[in-house]
Amino acid sequence: MVGKPVIKGTRIPVELILAHLAHNTNLNELFAAYPHITIKDVQACIAYGQAAVQEQYKKRRSHDEQDKNARISS
């Protein structure tokens, strides 16, 4: 899937599941659309999304701190 994270053992991108959940939280419809996934797969997708947001936040804070230190030492 061109480097996109997928649900283990499938070619279903995490992004696809998260997008579905963002627009429709009905898990029965999700499982009807993707019968090969489980609730644990959905939980893993959500955890992956949470970790990605947290990592992005850490990178931004680190970058902001570096900018602040550069301004102070100049």
The whole domain housing 20 covers: 14-73
Tens digits of residue pLDDT in 32-48: 999 999 999 999 999 99
Q: Are the CB atoms for 14 and 48 separated by under 8 Å?
A: yes
The answer as to whether 9 is a domain residue is: no
Q: How many domains does the chain have?
A: 1
For residue 40, what are the contacts with CB-CB under 8 A and spacing of at least 6?
none
Q: What is the pLDDT of residue 62?
A: 72
The answer as to whether 6 is a domain residue is: no
The answer as to whether 64 is a domain residue is: yes
CA angle at residue 26 from 48 to 23, to 5 degrees? 65
Q: What is the pLDDT of residue 41?
A: 98
The answer as to whether 49 is a domain residue is: yes
pLDDT above 70 for 73: no
The answer as to whether 5 is a domain residue is: no
